[in-house]
Amino acid sequence: GAGVSQSPSNKVTEKGKDVELRCDPISGHTALYWYRQSLGQGLEFLIYFQGNSAPDKSGLPSDRFSAERTGGSVSTLTIQRTQQEDSAVYLCASIGAGRGSETQYFGPGTRLLVL
Q: Name the residues that contact another protein, by CB under 8 A.
A: 4, 31, 33, 42-45, 48, 50, 56, 91, 93, 95, 97-109
The smaller minimum CB distance to another protein, of residues 1 and 100, is found at 100
Give the DSSP letter string of 30-97: -EEEEEEE-TT---EEEEEEETTSPPB-TT--STTEEEEEGGGS-EEEEE-S--GGG-EEEEEEEESS
Residue 81 beta carbon to another protein: minimum distance, rounded to whole angstroms: 27
Residue 17 beta carbon to another protein: minimum distance, rounded to whole angstroms: 25
Beta strand 10-13 with 110-114 is parallel
Residue type, 100: G
Residue 92 beta carbon to another protein: minimum distance, rounded to whole angstroms: 8
The smaller minimum CB distance to another protein, of residues 40 and 71, is found at 40
Residue 90 beta carbon to another protein: minimum distance, rounded to whole angstroms: 10
Q: What is the DSSP letter of 28?
A: T
The smaller minimum CB distance to another protein, of residues 71 and 100, is found at 100
